Structure 1
Amino acid sequence: MRAITNKISKATSTPKGKIIFFGIVIGLLAISAGALVYWSFYRKQIVRTKLEDAVRKKSKGLYQVHYDKLAMDEVAGDLVVTNFSIQYDPAKYKAMQEAGSTPPALLKIHIPSIIVSGVKTPRALLNKEIVGKNLQIINPVIDIIYTYAGRDSARNVPTKEVYEEILGDLNLIKIDSLLISNASITTRDIKTGEIKVELKHTSVQLQDVMVDSTAWADTTRLFFSKQADIRASGISWKSREKPYLFGLDSVHLNSTSKQVRIGGFHIDPLLAEDAFIRSLPRQEDRFDFSIKGITISNMDFPALFNEEIFADSIKVETASFKIYRDLGYKSGIRGPVKIFPHQSLLKIPVPFRLKKLVLANTFIEYKERAVISRQAGKVQFYQTNAVITNLTNRQDAAAVNNTLTVDIRTRFLNKAPLRVIWKFYLFNPDGRFDITGNLGAMDATQVNALTVPMAPARIENGRINSLSFNLAGNSSNMTGDVKLLYKDLKVSLLQKDEETRKLEKKKLASFAANIAIKNSNPSGKKDEVRTAHVNFKRDKHRSIFHLSWKSLYTGIKESAGIKNK
């Protein structure tokens, strides 16, 4: 610095040198002043033109940009844009349709306020680099309209590198903090206008955002950032085929903790039980599910946004699963062949691997309206706790361990402890699975909540000491052993009175039934325990639960001395 000062002093020591020096200084000041005046006068028009040209070029003229006000501070590097919007041009869209180049989706975006601060203007001008401190996008409303057209309609990941699409002619984009607050995002069908998915009160906070080839290759980054925090108060969508509304409440994703927290997930039928059943073309189940307090741990976020799901565990604080079926509704109409749950997992298009799923404090109810009595019986399980391990649809993971295990501990009808272990063999061509279980002691009359509407039969007396079963199922049948230990069993068979429409006791049939039924198992102290050997043929149009329950019920009847026809 001193050398430069000495040279300037030496050069200006003569009158001629002074004139030349001050001439250069004045010239530079004049150029700078002129540039500043020009920039101050035309800056907004330059920004507007560049922005509109960029959007028009990228979208091939489909989109137009509008905003009300743009305020800039070059010294501080600040920019404020109000009422920014991007709209598609209907005339251009129609022309693209006629030309056979219809885009798979259209966008409508309105942002009341965009605030950019701390942008280093010289780097933007000289190095084609945008480096700044903060970017805030406040209260954006984003409407995604699906046209379901174009060759890329099913593509989720662009063929070109994402960072190249974002950068355009720039070499680098670097922002210390990016905040999107209170966003509303909807997707809809262009033909019906019906909302498909809706995200409410969504916020995204990204720290240390960098967009370039280096950041793209950095596997520790998510959305080009070192830290990502995403929240949404609610996400909802409707089923395409059946009257259901699906929803997620209070969603929170944090890349630092590698956790996802969800306040609740629910499947809500949009019609009451009977109205829902009548809306279906054939006999099917109606689901009403509610899952609360969901925590996903050690989530692989880069994989998640590459359409893969890898996590260590999911824990659920409480849940309720209710299923309803009317056996008298269109029973003659056959539906499609049902596949088992572990076979359904393999058909999910997104690769996933989950080590453990833990359900706590869960209520399960299967409600079935019978054909003869037209009454509904309920199989209910209270205080259910379940641990599911090795959930995956990846063949490489199944090659190491192909057994998906479901270990359930519950209270049957809230009266007796029940433990059931399911084992599903992944990628088995015959859909193989096993069930073992044990039911504790209970008063036999407490089962009347099931037997009266479903059998119809009423247990007048008796004690169930235990029930154990070991069954193996596949796509064709279920086989195995069922052992029911009970004492002093007495039943009454029921029929519906045509006048009162109530279930009345069939005296003669009940007398005959009690003769046929062995009132205890074992019958005496020295008698052997009767064990039923089950071989039940599967109805391929019914679920795995129907196969399992009917096989178990067949074994229970045989244990009681009732011959299955």
Structure 2
Amino acid sequence: MKPIWKWIIGISGALLVIILGAAWYLSNNYKPLLENKLKDLIAESSDGLYSLQYDELDLNVILGNITLSNAVLMSDSVVYEQLVAAQKAPDNRFHIALDELKVRRLGIMGLLLNKKLNIGTIELAMPKVHMISQPHAFNDTIKDEKTKTLYEQIKDDLSSISVDKIDFTNIKFSHTKIADGKQSTMELDSVQLHIGDVLIDENSDQDTSRLFYTKTVDLSLPGFEYDLPDGFHRAKFDQLHLNTQQRNLFIGQVSFAPKMSKAEFFKKKGVKTTMAILQVDSINLDGLDIARLIDQQKIYAQNARLKNGSVSLYMDLRYPSTPKSHIGNSPHQQIMKLEQSIHIDTVHIDNIDVLYGETSKKYNQEGIITFNKATGIITNVTNDTIVLQKDKFMRADLRARIMNSGNLHAIFGFDMLSKNGAHTYKGSLGAMKATAFNRIIKPLVNVEISSGNIRKVTFDMAGTDYRNWGDFRFDYDDLKIKILGSKDEEGKRSGKGILSFLVNQIIINDSNPDANEVYHIGKVEYKRNPTHSFWKTLWQSLLDGIKQTAGISPEREAKLTQAGRATQNASTGIKGAAQKTGGFIKGLFSKKDKDDTDKKDAKK
């Protein structure tokens, strides 16, 4: 072997010994410095609120690996109260415990020579995160002092921090909210969180491609259930997935429903109220402004899609009502009242079934009306007044199969900035059999539609908090109804032939145009009952149009009574039947107050 190779081997061996020795020295002597620096950094950056404890810190300088075992980051309650008194306390504090923290491929040389902290991966195994939220009024006020950026906080010790990947596996997360002396807790288990390409330097906070210094955050939640504080309802979903790079939020198998049966719900409520059940296979938010969602709890997105589901609403009229005014509670007014700011360009409704069921107080039966396979879009869904200055209308264009039979198309326009709830609604209903409505009419008013062909319905209406008005057109033929009697021993209802005959012959036109070729148009002018909801008011307005187009008027009811008197010699029961029928018509078609009738007569 030539002498030069001996020198090379000797020098290389000496360098290796020096490097290994240095690594051993750093591993054994730099470890205390690292531990102290880490603890001091945590304490200083949190004003003494947080402290770090762990069982073991293992440092391998050669490989750039650090392992922290049984680590706990906790807040000091005494320090927190001191910060509250000084009006410096944050609204949120954390208690974090994890089995193991692994840091891999930490660039020691770059850290020592250039103050650049470069890390390959950080893995946190089985972390338990407890977040405590306690809002303080002083955090809502605007502060004069400018908050330091993360880089400004580290620049004296480091010129940059970069991490290729951070993995949180099987997070157990709990959130406790303390407000107004009350405390509530929500828990999540088996949460997965993956963060990619983290960079903190003098320019990274200006990088619009990053969210909180990261390129990608991918969050997955498994099934979740939450019992609402009202004690009646439970909300849950089977899956939630958030991706910041795609700006997408997906929630699967969403439901909101009472925790009890329908009968038990109404019994416990004890008053007339509405029970709601919501089920949706999937909710998607695209173009989501995640920074605004996290920082300001504001929901801003380009599109939302509700796909495959149902909305069921039930009411039991057998329970006493608690009359209250519904003025100011229309759908668009409710959105404007939300404490949380919201702006969604377009909401897509895709295959949602809507059902309304009502149990009659008199007949103890439930009538049901359905709007099947509802689809459509709702645009400009927002309560942001700045956005509404450009376009103040929220619009809905919806289609459905009413009673799974006729094609219904409705278009709504809601003036979001109106002080009196201004809105418009127009639409049409295609050809269908009138008998399809027996499912709601028969149980509620003990009347059955024997026959009837609906050829077309169109309406063009407007409304406010106090009245609805517009045109209603109803084309139909062969309309006949049957008034039912009481049930016999076998549970069957007999028909009251004379009443049915009088109604069909005297009260209702069996077609429009009628037998005299006169086409009746409903000119609706409906004064709202303040205790009626928005939707009930809408229905009552359309019902007024139905009455007018069907030829039902006070004069025709008077003729029915006269007919009863004229035939009383033939049958002593006719007069009573006629009077009952007049009362029935008033109940069936929800006649207006006498003042409204007098106004119409005055116009004539």
Q: Name the TM tier (shorter chain).
A: 0.7 to 0.9
Name which of 436, 440, 454 aligns with 2:430: 440
Q: In structure 2, which of residues 215, 218, 242 is the aligned counterpart of residue 253 of structure 1?
A: 242
Deviations 1:205-240 (A, max 9, x none): 222211244212222211311233222224554433
1:211 aligns with 2:200: yes
Alignment of 1:313-328 (within 5 A): 313-328=303-318
> Where in structure 2 are the equivalents of 1:4-19 lying within 5 Å?
none
| Structure 2 unaligned blocks of 5 or more | 1-13, 554-590, 593-604
Closer, same or farther in 2 for the Cα pair 1:159/1:138, shift >3 Å? farther
Residues 158-185 of structure 1: CA distance to partner in whole angstroms, max 9, x if unpaired? 9724526974854432112222222222
Whole-Å Cα distance in 2 between the matches of residues 363 and 165 of structure 1? 54
- Structure 2 CA distance for aligned equivalents of residues 229 and 102 of structure 1: 30
Partner letter of residue 144 of structure 1? M
Identity of aligned residues (%): 26
SS state at 2:139 partner: coil
Distance in 1 (CA, whole Å) between partners of 2:215 and 2:262 is 49
CA distance in 2, matches of 1:415, 1:36: 80
| Alpha-carbon distance in structure 1 between the residues aligned to 2:39 and 2:63 | 24
Is residue 361 from structure 1 mapped to residue 351 from structure 2 by the alignment?
yes
Measure how far apart 1:344 and its partner are: 2.2
1:332 and 1:391, CA in 2 relative to 1: closer, same or farther beyond 3 A? closer
How many residues are aligned here? Answer: 537
Seen in structure 2, the aligned counterparts of structure 1 residues 150 and 416 have a Cα distance that, compared at 3 Å, is closer
Contact 1:134 1:176 in 2 (8 A): yes
C-alpha spacing 1:351/1:177, structure 2 compared with 1 (3 Å): same
The runs of 5 or more residues in structure 1 that have no matched partner are 1-25
**Structure 1 stretch displaced more, 509-518 or 498-507:** 498-507
Matched, 1:522 2:509: no
Corresponding residue SS for 2:220: strand
Equivalent residue for 1:112?
99
The structural deviation recorded for 1:148 is: 4.9
Whole-Å separation in 2 of the counterparts to 1:228 and 1:105: 21
Label 1:145 to 1:275 Cα distance change in 2 as closer, same or farther (>3 A): farther
Residue of structure 1 aligned with 2:363, choices 365, 368, 373: 373
Match of 1:71 among 58, 63, 85: 58
1:187 and 1:287 map into 2 onto residues whose CA distance is 27
Q: Using a 3 Å threshold, how does the CA distance of structure 1 residues 404 and 59 change in structure 2: closer, same or farther?
A: same
Q: 1:165–1:325: structure 2 CA closer, same or farther, 3 Å change rule?
A: farther
Which has a greater percent of helix?
Answer: 2
Corresponding residue number in structure 2 for 1:405: 395
The separation in 2 between residues aligned to 1:271 and 1:545, in whole angstroms, is 26
1:346 aligned to 308, 323, 336, which one?
336
Answering whether residue 160 of structure 2 is matched by residue 177 of structure 1, we say: no
1:427 equivalent to 2:417? Answer yes
Who is 1:269 aligned against? 258
User: Counterpart of 1:141?
Assistant: 128
| Contact 2:110–2:118 (Cα < 8 Å) also in 1 | yes
Could you say which residue in structure 2 is the equivalent of 1:152?
A: 139
| Counterpart residue identity of residue 310, structure 2 | S
Aligned to 1:393: 383
* Partner residue, 1:53: 40
CA distance 1:503–1:340, shift in 2 (3 Å): farther
Separation in 2, partners of 1:324, 1:500: 28
Task: Quote the Cα distance in structure 2 between the aligned partners of 1:94 and 1:399.
Answer: 44
> Residues 51 and 142 from structure 1, CA distance in 2 versus in 1: closer, same or farther, beyond 3 angstroms?
same
Output the aligned Cα RMSD: 3.6
Query: CA separation in 1, counterparts of 2:288 and 2:510?
Result: 53
Q: Give the letter for the 2:416 counterpart.
A: L
Query: What do the CA deviations read for 1:62-121 (whole angstroms, capped 9, x no partner)?
Result: 444332332211122111122222234456667778999876444221222221112122
- Check conservation: 2:507, 2:551, Cα contact below 8 A: yes
CA 1:89–1:206 in 2, change beyond 3 Å: closer, same or farther? closer
Q: Give the conservation status (yes or no) of the 8 Å contact 1:361–1:385.
A: yes
Superposition TM-score, scaled by structure 1 size: 0.83
Give the secondary-structure state (helix, strand or coil) at the position aligned to 1:545: helix
Q: Matched residues in 2 for 1:502 and 1:106: separation?
A: 67
Q: CA deviation at 1:45?
A: 3.7
